[in-house]
Chains A and B, each alone.
Chain A
Amino acid sequence: MSEIEKSKINIVKAPDGVEGPGFFATTMDKAVGLGRKNSLWPLPFATSCCGIEFMATAAATYDLGRFGAERLSFSPRQADLLMVMGTISKKMIPVVRQVYQQMAEPRWVLAMGACASSGGIFDTYSVLQGIDRIIPVDVYIPGCPPRPEQVIDGLMQIQKLAASETTRRRNQPEYKALMEKYGME
């Protein structure tokens, strides 16, 4: 037994494949998915209260690092996951869209909290009623604000998406149609 196996550290299991003496074969999709899943670089787009719960999630007690997502990328260019946390006002719309468009494929979006998902309690003239009106969203986390456990659960849902997504999905006509719906390329 190797040192790692002896300790209680869990390492990610290899995907299904054909194993033989001196070789291991699996599909490209699975191998890439495995890598993407366990090294998500989130861009915390924190605007209000949910941002503080995200700080709690990222800090020592809840520790996002356990999911390979502790490397917060504040530059959209290197980020995989856009975490929109908090109220998005109408003044903020162009900023959110620009940040999303600056991200490289593949990109996922997580709407954390009621405000980002639906406008929440702020059904007012100045607040955008859910970010899915301007950018496509993959996972919604309910709560006002959600507990850190919920944030972790949301992140794990994104991990599932990342693991199962084929490398070609972004070239499919459905995806292009979705982008067109939002007026993006």
Chain B
Amino acid sequence: MASTNKIDKIKKGNTSVTNAEAKVEEKEYSTLNLGPTHPATHGIFQNILKMDGEIIVEAESTVGYIHRAFEKIAEHRNYYQITTLTDRLNYCSSPINNMGWHMAVEKLFNIEVPKRAQYLRVIIMELSRIADHLICNSVIGVDTGALTVYFYIFSLRERIYEIFEEICGARLTTNIGRVGGIERDFSPKVWAILDVFMKELPAALKEFENLLVRNRIFMDRTIGCGPITAEKALQYSFTGPNLRAAGVDYDVRVMNPYSSYEEFDFIVPVGTNGDTYDRFMVREEEMWQSLSIIQQAIAKVKKEPAGIFHADVPDFFLPPKEDVYNNMEALIYHFKIVMGEIIYYQAYTEMIKGAFLSDAILTMSSMNVIAGELDA
């Protein structure tokens, strides 16, 4: 046995054990339980890691710690009662989820949404995209040890909440929009604070970037950390910024435009390595593009007649009362949420294999996995 040889050698006074001899030795792995309430998991995920020192040899993920049975609830609800659920899926950007639901219903009912409402929706969606990316990117900062960016950028993020609050009355779980449009036109105050926000954002975002983008420590920590190739990403059905960071130039806003996105002029940022830094940078650039989209949308809204924010379809809202209670067909029969997070997270075990434990945590935060959406 190699180990006895080594001990014998040391006993004999020969302390130099060659590397080759050390390698032959049986490796002792340790098991580490990461989560489900580990602070670095930003939510509830459990990973049982088989570790060789600092390096992860194998990982096994367990999810379902906040399974709330969204799909089952939705099958017991009316069409207009679903937004309370979509709010709580990815709670960092609930308005986008709301809009997704409304657009699905509008497609089924064949409702044409007025242009003004579409542009207003674009503003809301892009604002929440910024809010979501800000959380994700600032948390990458926190996980690399740069807590400042989180404190700094959250005061800016509060402005977005203030705008949402002014539009719909809620900060986080917005319940924004209605089937056929949005619930009311933007008030003058919304336009005023949106204006202020649009002036504040570039400076704050620039400063945020200055703290991280060319920061030597941040770059060393994130470049090459948790990479995924484009082929793998497609195999795992990645979407959104995570797919684009891997180098696939697919953006659903361009390929299958909804809510008049085809009228907007924006760049789709694409990464090359699919590592944490690329994901971070793709999100950074998307925020700048969102800013430009919002500016374009504001200009477009001003050209549309005021006061038209909802399609003129009063009678599809409620199935007849007796149908609701007696016939479940009047409700949704099968409800399926296509969750991006479960897709990202199942690739996680493969992505962290052979990585350092500290890199594994960064990889997770850079994929922006939100437990609420993952477990639905």
A residues whose Cβ falls under 8 Å from a Cβ of B: 44-49, 51-53, 55-56, 59-61, 72, 74, 86-89, 91-92, 95, 99, 121-122, 124-127, 144-145, 147
> B66: which of A53, A56, A92, A145 is its contact (CB, 8 Å)?
A92
> Which 6 pairs show the lowest CB-CB distances between chains A and B?
A59-B154, A49-B91, A124-B69, A74-B39, A122-B68, A48-B372
By a CB distance below 8 angstroms, the chain A residues around B150 are: 59
B37 within 8 A of A: yes
Assembled-state Cα–Cα distance A44/B41 (Å): 13
By a CB distance below 8 angstroms, the chain A residues around B375 are: 89
A-B contact pairs, 10 of them (CB 8 A): A44-B39, A59-B150, A60-B151, A60-B155, A87-B68, A89-B65, A89-B66, A121-B73, A126-B67, A145-B172
By a CB distance below 8 angstroms, the chain B residues around A122 are: 68-69, 73
> A92: which of B36, B87, B161, B171 is its contact (CB, 8 Å)?
B36
By a CB distance below 8 angstroms, the chain A residues around B173 are: 49, 144-145
For residues 89 through 128 of chain B, which have their beta carbon under 8 Å from a beta carbon of chain A? Answer: 91-92
- Closest CB in chain A relative to B93 CB, distance in Å: 10
B135 within 8 A of A: yes
By a CB distance below 8 angstroms, the chain B residues around A88 are: 66
By a CB distance below 8 angstroms, the chain B residues around A59 are: 150-151, 154-155, 158
B36 and A127 form a contact (CB under 8 A): no
B9 within 8 A of A: no
Assembled-state Cα–Cα distance A49/B53 (Å): 35
- Closest CB in chain A relative to B361 CB, distance in Å: 13
> B67: which of A46, A91, A145 is its contact (CB, 8 Å)?
A91
Residue of B nearest to A55 (CB): B154
A52 and B92 form a contact (CB under 8 A): yes
A89 and B67 form a contact (CB under 8 A): yes
By a CB distance below 8 angstroms, the chain A residues around B340 are: none
Assembled-state Cα–Cα distance A122/B64 (Å): 15
A147 and B37 form a contact (CB under 8 A): no
> B69: which of A44, A99, A126 is its contact (CB, 8 Å)?
A126
By a CB distance below 8 angstroms, the chain B residues around A145 are: 172-173
By a CB distance below 8 angstroms, the chain B residues around A124 are: 68-69, 72-73
A48 and B73 form a contact (CB under 8 A): no
Given contacts A55-B154, A126-B67, contact A47 B371 (CB under 8 A): yes
Assembled-state Cα–Cα distance A72/B44 (Å): 18
By a CB distance below 8 angstroms, the chain A residues around B152 are: 60
By a CB distance below 8 angstroms, the chain B residues around A55 are: 135, 154
Assembled-state Cα–Cα distance A59/B375 (Å): 27
B84 within 8 A of A: yes
Assembled-state Cα–Cα distance A6/B85 (Å): 52
B354 within 8 A of A: no
A127 and B69 form a contact (CB under 8 A): yes
B178 within 8 A of A: no
- Closest CB in chain A relative to B170 CB, distance in Å: 9
By a CB distance below 8 angstroms, the chain B residues around A87 are: 66, 68
Assembled-state Cα–Cα distance A131/B349 (Å): 31
Contacts A49-B173, A147-B171 known; list 18 others, CB within 8 Å: A45-B37, A47-B66, A47-B371, A48-B372, A56-B161, A59-B155, A60-B151, A60-B152, A60-B155, A61-B154, A61-B155, A61-B158, A74-B39, A89-B64, A92-B65, A121-B85, A126-B69, A145-B173
By a CB distance below 8 angstroms, the chain B residues around A95 are: 36-37, 65
Most buried by B among A48, A95, A147: A48
Assembled-state Cα–Cα distance A126/B38 (Å): 22
- Per-residue interface assignment for chain B, residues 56 to 75, with 1 indicating a CB less than 8 Å from any chain A CB and 0 otherwise: 00000000111111001100
